[in-house]
Amino acid sequence: MVPVRVLLMVLVLNLLTSITATTNSNSTTTATTTSSSSHANAISYPDFQHLNIKETIAETKTKPTVTSQNHKPLETHDDDDDGNKKKSWKLQLVHRDGISKDNFQDHYRHRFLQRMKRDSRRVTSLIRRLSVGGESYKEEDFGSEVVSGMEQGSGEYFVRIGVGSPPRSQYVVIDSGSDIVWVQCQPCNQCYHQSDPVFDPADSASYSGVSCNSDVCGRLENGGCHAGRCRYEVQYGDGSYTKGTLAFETLTFGQTTIRNVAIGCGHINKGMFVGAAGLLGLGSGSMSFVGQLGGQAGGAFSYCLVSRGIGSSGSLEFGRAAMPVGAAWVPLIRNPQAPSFYYVGLAGLGVGGMQIPISEDVFKLTDMGKGGVVMDTGTAVTRFPTLAYEAFRDAFISQTSNLPRASGVSIFDTCYNLLGFVSVRVPTVSFYFSDGPILTLPARNFLIPVDDAGTFCFAFAPSPSSGPSIIGNIQQEGIQISFDGANGFVGFGPNVC
């Protein structure tokens, strides 16, 4: 069972399989969580890591294996303490780069710069919506710039599901900040290119339009009515949008069938939604896929975002059985102004095993719904308010004075020229959660390549002082993250991918 109190523990997550000194070609990156009360006396708590530079640069020049479109989700069953079966549905989670060869026609630096531009647009939109006190969050105002960034890869993660009866396999992008499930549909008055044939509801025996007086239609933030059928419209910050009919449909995960899921059937869609058929919203609202599963999943899901360039896949799993034993649990915080998002309490930041003197108030969610810390799968780079970011960055710079500096790149102002190095020693970077564990990130999650010529940057950026902090997917990569919405916790570890 998931604990109702935060566990005090030390977890060491081995995210790579090899370790060497500076002269070797391998290195160790680990994520560690420990209780704040025991940090001062934790002898095993690391204050530095080795990052394999040679291997990381080689990954920027390697084209990953394109994932087969025929892979099957895995259904698992676990016993609870009373011997009863708990069902979960597990899917393979792949990065956008793993489903299309077209993503590697451009050089790594060009793809990276495009990714950062789209990430900036997403964050600008998010901060604009979440920084206005007293104004309710609306799905149509923000949700999926992650989708609009798919063309070049802006931290996009895909799962493959079946839609309709018989099921038609479709790739959909996951988004923890969205409360709607939708796919493109025929007849397609205006559609973008996707890797699979567009879903045709006329070929599905289980498709059923939602009436205008349905309770489900009433839950839409921007619903409408046409010819007695419920209409939906989602407008994104960059001008992209999807419009169509709300319907009940069957979704399939391997051998598991989920009936009567309310989905948007998009007949008019615009934007750079390249590759995916649509979106699988994982937000905490009632219209998200997690919300609609209700008792079938117990408000629980878990994901492990595949690390960049290592040629493996991650996973997305729904259900109580997905909740791991041995995770470090942090309470979720609800923001009534943005109920779809998952907020956590953050007390501070650390570099080299030492907490930086930053007031905890910088990270607090106010009574008006401003500030706070959001965990978001759609944002790539973690943002902190400028005051906190600058103290954080300066502490990192002071402990890396032995490394040659490089000019800033895109949104990053702290970069290094590491060409010719095999590996480098860097200080640890840690998140101090309020009344909970300290999460120490793997080195590859905070010092990342921005080209294939040895330029690496500190992978954090500032946000306005009144805006929220955002923990992005680069910092989440390779770590199992579990959301227990029913009990109000998010867990880190113990598994890796």
Q: Which amino acid is at 289?
A: F
Whole-angstrom Cα distance, residue 164 to residue 182?
12
Quick check: 180 pLDDT over 60?
Answer: yes
What is the mean predicted confidence (pLDDT) over 210-216?
A: 92
Quick check: 51 pLDDT over 70?
Answer: yes
Of the candidates 308, 257, 247, 303, which has an alpha carbon nearest to the alpha carbon of residue 278?
247
Range name among 115-124, 208-217, 376-385, 426-435 with the lowest pLDDT average: 115-124
Quick check: 492 pLDDT over 70?
Answer: yes
| Alpha helix stretches (DSSP H) within 251-355 | 289-293
pLDDT tens profile 7-32: 323 333 333 322 223 333 333 445 66
Q: H or E element: which one contains 268?
A: strand 256-270
Q: Is 432 exposed, middle or buried (0-12, 13-18, 19+ CB in 10 A)?
A: buried
The residue with tokens 């303490």 is 81
Buried b (16+ CB within 10 A) or exposed e, 122-158: bbbbbbebbbeeeeebebbbbbbbbbbbbbbbbbbbb
pLDDT tens profile 313-353: 788 999 888 899 889 999 999 998 888 899 999 999 999 99
Q: What band does 234 get if pLDDT is binned at 50, 70 and 90?
A: confident
Catalytic residue among 97, 119, 141, 175: 175
Q: Could you tell me the CA-to-CA distances from 302 to 77, 158, 490 in Å, in that order?
A: 15, 14, 9
What is the mean predicted confidence (pLDDT) over 353-366?
A: 94
What is the mean predicted confidence (pLDDT) over 232-256?
A: 84
Whole-angstrom Cα distance, residue 147 to residue 163?
19
Residue 284 DSSP class: S
Between 39 and 410, residue with greater pLDDT: 410
Highest mean pLDDT pick, 23-37, 237-251, 256-270: 256-270
Q: Which amino acid is at 146?
A: V
What is the mean predicted confidence (pLDDT) over 204-225?
A: 89
pLDDT value at residue 5: 33
pLDDT tens profile 437-487: 899 999 999 999 999 999 999 999 999 877 899 999 999 999 999 999 989
CA atoms in the 13 A half-sphere facing the CB of 474: 25
Q: What band does 124 get if pLDDT is binned at 50, 70 and 90?
A: confident
Quick check: 215 pLDDT over 50?
Answer: yes
pLDDT value at residue 448: 96
Between 19 and 216, residue with greater pLDDT: 216
Q: What is the pTM of this model?
A: 0.84
Between 9 and 116, residue with greater pLDDT: 116
Q: Is 40 exposed, middle or buried (0-12, 13-18, 19+ CB in 10 A)?
A: exposed
Quick check: 388 pLDDT over 60?
Answer: yes
What is the mean predicted confidence (pLDDT) over 110-138?
A: 71
pLDDT value at residue 39: 35
Q: Is 175 a catalytic residue?
A: yes
Strands (E), 96-167: 157-163
pLDDT tens profile 272-319: 556 789 889 999 888 999 999 887 887 899 999 876 655 567 889 998
pLDDT value at residue 296: 80
| Residues contacting residue 82 through CB under 8 Å, at least 6 positions apart | none
Q: Could you tell me the CA-to-CA distances from 46 to 29, 60, 348, 439, 478 in Å, in that order?
A: 11, 28, 18, 12, 19
Indicate the Cα dihedral angle 268, 271, 273, 275, nearest 10°: 90
Residues pairing with 316 in the sheet: 91, 303
Whole-angstrom Cα distance, residue 478 to residue 30?
10
Other beta carbons within 10 angstroms of residue 405's beta carbon come to: 12
Strands (E), 221-255: 224-226, 229-235, 241-253
Catalytic residue among 119, 376, 451, 484: 376
pLDDT value at residue 135: 36
CA atoms in the 13 A half-sphere facing the CB of 185: 23
Whole-angstrom Cα distance, residue 161 to residue 202?
19
pLDDT value at residue 459: 97
Q: Could you tell me the CA-to-CA distances from 459 to 298, 402, 412 in Å, in that order?
A: 35, 19, 7
pLDDT value at residue 427: 97
Whole-angstrom Cα distance, residue 321 to residue 88?
6
Residue 210 DSSP class: P
